[in-house]
Amino acid sequence: MNRWALGIDIGGTNTAFGLVDEDGHVHYSNNFRTTDFPTADELAKRIFEDIEGNSGAAHLISGIGIGAPNGNYHNGTIEFAPNLKWEGVIPLANIFKSYFNKPTTVTNDANAAALGEMLFGVAKGMNDFVLVTLGTGLGSGFVCHGKMLYGHTGMAGELGHIVIKPNGRACGCGRKGCLETYASATGFKRTVAALQKKYQKSGKAVRSPLPRISAKHLTTLAEQGDALALEAFDITARHLARGLATAVAITSPQAVILAGGLARSGHTLTDPLEQHLNRELLVIFQDKVTVLISELLDDNAAVLGAAALVLQH
């Protein structure tokens, strides 16, 4: 009998969930606005009622996997997530267990995405890789020797908050120069905004006024040869390369997999990234790491990743 998992991706804005089988097929899915629920308990209750009432398959669930910001694998908790209004430490696994009465596992969203990639995406068969999500922030999940790296605290894999530029851009974490202030959808926008000022001062024509900054739009401009757009991707790639070179020096993965909104820029990002990375890498790691784009960039990716927490076993 094919086992099914309930995969739940809790984001700052939206919570998506679905019933996923071992082949990665999504049999039922739905989503709610996270911000509509004052407590995690109310969200869990609503998802339980939805699955019981609408999926027709609640009895097939063998376990629940949840990807959530600041999700702690060891404790089954969300801990001080800055972009959720549920404050402090939330005993998320226990809350969901109280409704579903099924084994429930929690991890952060980037770790869940890495597991999804290992079971259903470009990392199939890989034992050592890093998944990097370039979204509002930069999240990362490290798989080492075939296993998710959780560390002593259960919170390992915070590549977004390594300092790559001392006294650099201010970061939401309170420090300066963190990788995610440069290499994320948000960091990319800051780079574009800074370039627009620079270009305007120098009298160069700027084709994209501020309100239209988006990675998608800039990708199109870069493909058309727009100097500002090309420079924005080059700067982003250079900083990302420095952060990845650090990740490689410590964990020596066979691949770096890019996911999240900015990863949709594809070669416009990876071409300069590979150039910078080869320069930044220690010589023993050169030509030993492949840069790949996630195969799970569609809407179900996060749900597949969360389900993979259960289905990996």
Residue ranges in 179-238 that form contacts with a second copy under rule CB under 8 A: none
Judge whether 304 and 125 are in contact, CB under 8 Å.
no
Q: How far apart are CA 257 and CA 141, in angstroms?
A: 10
- For a second copy, the binding residue among 144, 227, 293, 297 (CB under 8 A) is 144
Judge whether 137 and 169 are in contact, CB under 8 Å.
no
Residue ranges in 266-285 that form contacts with a second copy under rule CB under 8 A: 280, 282-285
Based on CB atoms, which residue is closest to a second copy, 88 or 211? 88
Based on CB atoms, which residue is closest to a second copy, 220 or 275? 275
- For a second copy, the binding residue among 6, 10, 159, 222 (CB under 8 A) is 159
Burial of 113 (0-12, 13-18, 19+ CB in 10 A): buried
Q: Quote the least distance from Cβ 114 to a second copy, whole Å.
A: 13
Rule CB under 8 A: say whether 152 interacts with a second copy: yes
Judge whether 71 and 155 are in contact, CB under 8 Å.
no
Based on CB atoms, which residue is closest to a second copy, 151 or 266? 151
Residue among 40, 48, 109, 102 nearest 73 (CA): 109
Which are the contacts of 32, defined by CB distance < 8 A and separation ≥ 6? 14, 15, 43, 46, 47
B/e letters for 218-246, b = 16+ CB within 10 Å, e = fewer, are: bbebbeeebebbbbbbbbbbbbbbbbbbb
- For a second copy, the binding residue among 5, 44, 51, 245 (CB under 8 A) is 245
Of 33-41, 57-65, 137-145, 304-312, the window that binds a second copy (rule: CB under 8 A) is 137-145
- For a second copy, the binding residue among 63, 137, 157, 272 (CB under 8 A) is 157
Rule CB under 8 A: say whether 251 interacts with a second copy: yes
Judge whether 290 and 256 are in contact, CB under 8 Å.
yes
Q: How far apart are CA 104 and CA 110, in angstroms?
A: 18
Residue ranges in 60-79 that form contacts with a second copy under rule CB under 8 A: 70, 79
Of 38-46, 111-119, 138-146, 180-188, the window that binds a second copy (rule: CB under 8 A) is 138-146
Joined together, the tokens standing for residue 181 give 């202030």
Based on CB atoms, which residue is closest to a second copy, 32 or 285? 285
Rule CB under 8 A: say whether 176 interacts with a second copy: no
Instruction: Provide the binding-site residues for a second copy, judged by CB under 8 A.
Output: 70, 79-80, 127-128, 140, 142, 144-145, 147, 149-159, 161-166, 173-175, 242, 245-247, 249-254, 280, 282-285, 288
